[in-house]
Chain A
Amino acid sequence: MRVVIAECTVDYDGRLSAHLPRAKRLIMLKADGCVAVHADGGAYKPLNWMNAPNVFTEKDDAFVVTNNKNESLTITLHEVFDDVQHILGEDPGLQKDGVEAHLQQLLATEPSRLGDGMTLVRREYPTDIGPVDLLCRGKDNEVVAVEIKRRGEIDGVEQLTRYLDFLNRNPDLSPVKGMFVAQEIKPQARTLAEDRSIEWLEVDYDDLRGIQSPQQQLFR
């Protein structure tokens, strides 16, 4: 990632012509070939940009980016204030819901929170249609597939139903019961789960983390 702060003018030529008059701007030259020109406003959107694949040419006083659609972006540099380059490496990706992953981790560590006598067989149990969050055994040694969500909605029950359908085809595991776990489960999801003989359970994230609520309880 190369980051340049410069006084520049920018000219785009392609489907239309556009001109950015001289001003101080941030120019991002990404390792994947994308070039973006940012001002100090406009949130995340660049003033102008050129996606990869493209051809990048660096001249003494300009960056010229062209692509095979006959588009060109010419950034004329009048004064350069900063020009730094860092190798960022591969990004681990966006973790959309840290709470969900943490709930899974906490319940894997303490499966008895899911029910008396519950033990963990495996976390992220693989199936051909995706991994089941937790595969456990209940107090009667029955196999229980556990799907964990932050907010329990109908699509989560549907997802667990698909896993159960798949797991129950395996004679080594069948019969496999389902358990739908979330911090909060919508009434429709509860009804659907009950209709499909899937047990549902709401868990207290703070309680699992050992964080005491200021509101004390008479008993737990």
Chain B
Amino acid sequence: MKFRCERDVLVETLGTAGRAVSTRSGLPGLSGVQVELVGDQFTVTGSDLDLTITTTIEVSGESDGKAVIPARLAADIVKALSPGAVELSTEDDTLRISAGRSDFSIRLITSDEFPKITDIDAKPVELDAEQLAHALKQVVLAASSDDSRPILTGVLLAAEGDSLRLVATDSYRLAMKDIDGIELLSEGEQVLVPSRALGELHRILANGKSITLRLGEKEASFTVEGVTLTTRLIEGDFPNYRGLVPDHHPNTLTVNRTALLDALRRVKLMAPQEGTPVRIEMNEHGMELVAVTADVGTAREVVESSYVGEDLVVAFNPRFLLEGLEVAPGDDVTLLTTDELKPALIKSVGFDNYLYLLMPVRVS
């Protein structure tokens, strides 16, 4: 294999595929990326068995070939080279990287230690990349990062009428988004996609306008502008999220989202430790945010708002509240509550396709 390519293009390509490379696997093959040159098409694949990222670029090819190279080392070397053209070539068990006066020779990884990557045999579906990226940003944040509850580390994709519904929950909050006009799954059909893969997909989506999705029985793949991300699907039953969303809330607070976010960020300064709640005091005059840290101090801020309901004080983890408000669409949001212990619902005024459900913190 031998080709020439611009350094910056190669850095981005190795970096993108390298994001799927395992950093803590005991298998030597998984610390590498597979590189393949066919004509002028150079393809790099990284995988940790759960997530695989393949990216293809056009280069000036001289001779075809295929090898597995150390992912981190190769990326670091290319990144450190002077700007301009870089030449990569393999011979026997060595990869040679040269640019200007720099010349590196590094040992290849045995090819048979790299996992076999197969294409998903499923009908491709085209989605709007920007629309999906926006939905992922709103939902993925609510997925759990706790690997001991693997079901909760996934984002549910389900058919909902003529929409595609995305749902994620870490048991403390739940985010749900419907993307209208996408008939990806049959009614009643649903899949659970690892949130880590969708987080990586969100990065890639910035590069394209359209995304091609293939849903297999155990895997899903997403292709955007020469980059294909393939992920294993999570097996198991997602919690019955429909039963978690209350259909009746006697109390409704309506507030400007930006004003609430700004006030919350200020008040949160007095709740610096994870777990210190911020209270929302609601009455006929509107709302007041309060944060108290014993031995440190108190923060209070009145936020202009309208409230219909009984006087109520409800407390939340400020991080969860902030994250939900940050991704909610529109100018105004409503906070729908039942009492100080039952789930509260954040919805955007004028947007019915997104909701954020949040459990309060019990305070004395």
Residues of chain A whose beta carbon lies under 8 Å from any beta carbon of chain B: 185, 187-188, 190-192, 195, 200-202, 212, 214-220
Contacts and interface: CB of A to CB of B under 8 A. Distances in A.
- Return the 4 tightest CB-CB contacts between A and B, nearest first: A202-B148, A216-B359, A217-B171, A214-B362
Nearest to B360: A216
B95 to A, nearest CB: 27
Nearest to A188: B24
B283 to A, nearest CB: 23
B297 interface: no
Interface in B1-50: 24-26
Nearest to A190: B147
B148 A215 contact: no
A204 to B, nearest CB: 10
B173 interface: yes
A215 B26 contact: no
Contact of A215 (B25, B343, B361): B361
A19 B343 CA distance: 72
Most B CB within 10 A of own CB, among A215, A216, A219: A215
Contacts of B26: 191-192, 195
B174 interface: yes
Contact of A218 (B147, B275, B357, B363): B357
B169 interface: yes
Nearest to B243: A219
18 contacts: A185-B148, A191-B24, A191-B25, A201-B148, A214-B275, A214-B277, A215-B359, A216-B341, A216-B359, A216-B362, A217-B172, A218-B171, A218-B174, A218-B239, A218-B357, A218-B359, A219-B171, A219-B244
A203 B359 CA distance: 21
Contacts of A191: 24-26
A219 B239 contact: yes
Given A188-B24, A218-B239, 4 more contacts: A185-B148, A215-B361, A216-B360, A218-B359
B24 A218 contact: no
Question: Interface size class for chain B?
Answer: 20 to 34
A54 to B, nearest CB: 50
B239 A215 contact: no
Contacts of B341: 216
Contacts of B24: 187-188, 191
A136 B146 CA distance: 25
Contacts of A195: 26
A218 B173 contact: yes
B169 A218 contact: yes
Interface in B164-182: 169, 171-174
Contact of A202 (B146, B275, B360, B361): B146
A217 B171 CA distance: 5
Nearest to A200: B148
Contacts of B277: 214
Contact of B171 (A187, A201, A202, A220): A220
B317 interface: yes
B172 A215 contact: yes
A220 B359 CA distance: 12
Contact of B363 (A201, A202, A214, A220): A214
Most A CB within 10 A of own CB, among B172, B244, B357: B172
B338 to A, nearest CB: 13
Given A191-B24, A191-B25, A195-B26, A218 B362 contact: no
Nearest to B169: A218
Nearest to A215: B361
A215 B319 CA distance: 12
A216 B360 CA distance: 6
A192 B26 CA distance: 8
B146 A217 contact: no
A200 B146 CA distance: 12
Interface in B253-292: 275, 277
A185 B343 CA distance: 30
Interface in B116-172: 146-148, 169, 171-172
Contacts of B146: 202
A218 B25 contact: no
Interface in B294-320: 317
Contacts of B317: 215
Contacts of A200: 148
A218 B361 contact: no
A190 B171 CA distance: 23
Contacts of A215: 172, 275, 317, 359, 361-362
Contacts of B363: 214
A212 B363 CA distance: 12
A195 B28 CA distance: 13
A148 to B, nearest CB: 15
A201 B149 CA distance: 9
Most B CB within 10 A of own CB, among A190, A191, A212, A214: A214
